[in-house]
Structure 1
Amino acid sequence: MPLHKSGEDYLEAILVLQKKKGMVRSADVARHMDVSKPSVCHAVATLKKGGFLLMDGDHFLHLTDLGREVAEDTYEKHLFFTEILVAAGVDPVTAERDACRIEHVVSKETFERLKATRKLSGKAVISSDES
């Protein structure tokens, strides 16, 4: 099942919240993303159906292996592009917003080449494991 930008955003938000809080519920995601609870409910149902997410009996959200892979890839891109844009002098708020758009459209090949180029130039690259 192909994921849309919004699905990647929800998975990324769940990953970020899990890193901060440990356990995450739909209401936490709604607050974090500034969206309505019904929007989160719809997204959760879609992500569960696609095999990206599980919900336990206490309504806590858990990324599946597939969901975690997508979330970590998306988050890594987000951090990478935010860092590059800020280093280029872009206002951090704008950099964050732009990175959120770029992370969804850049191909895997392009991203891997950009990371390799950045490493060769000796610049630090933030990985999703470091945050």
Structure 2
Amino acid sequence: MYESRENYLETILILSQKNGSVRSIDIARELNFSKPSVSRAMRLLRESGHIITDENGGIVLTELGLKKAKSVLERHQILTEFLMKTTGVSEGIVEKDACRMEHIVSEEVFEGIKKFVKNKSQ
């Protein structure tokens, strides 16, 4: 899956946890994207089976979408924690880098980082 679609799914998950419901305009505001760009992305995510739109225009993650969104969010959170604990770099820089890394890190490296973070937290 493309990085941009993963970012949309992650954003939908975060907004739904925060606000309960999510509409395209909420996503556009959160990501600072144009409404047409978000509408196009939502169409693609609908076609791929990752979201559905309810009768009120709310965007809801399907089981497939929720699984992917949770995976991306977990990667973001773990990588952010790892980078904060190991680099001594500002949180803003760490957040940006973790967001990029979450899409390219291999499963093996991610699992190693996850173990490292878990062991350091105990």
Same fold by TM-score, threshold 0.5 exceeded?
Answer: yes
Moved over 4 A (4+): none
* CA positional deviation for 1:109: 2.2
Alignment of 1:1-131 (within 5 A): 3-87=1-85, 88-119=87-118, 122-124=119-121
Structure 1 residue 117 displacement after superposition: 3.1
SS at match of 2:103: helix
Which runs of no fewer than 5 residues in structure 1 stay unpaired?
A: 126-131
TM-score scaled by structure 1?
Answer: 0.88
Query: Structure 2, unaligned stretches of length 5 or more?
Result: none
Cα separation, 1, equivalents of 2:95 and 2:116: 21
Question: How far did 1:57 drift?
Answer: 1.3
- Aligned CA-pair RMSD: 1.3
- Overall identity of the aligned pairs, in %: 43
CA–CA distance in structure 1, aligned partners of residues 120 and 20 of structure 2: 31
Number of corresponding residues? 121
Corresponding letter in the other structure for 1:46:
L
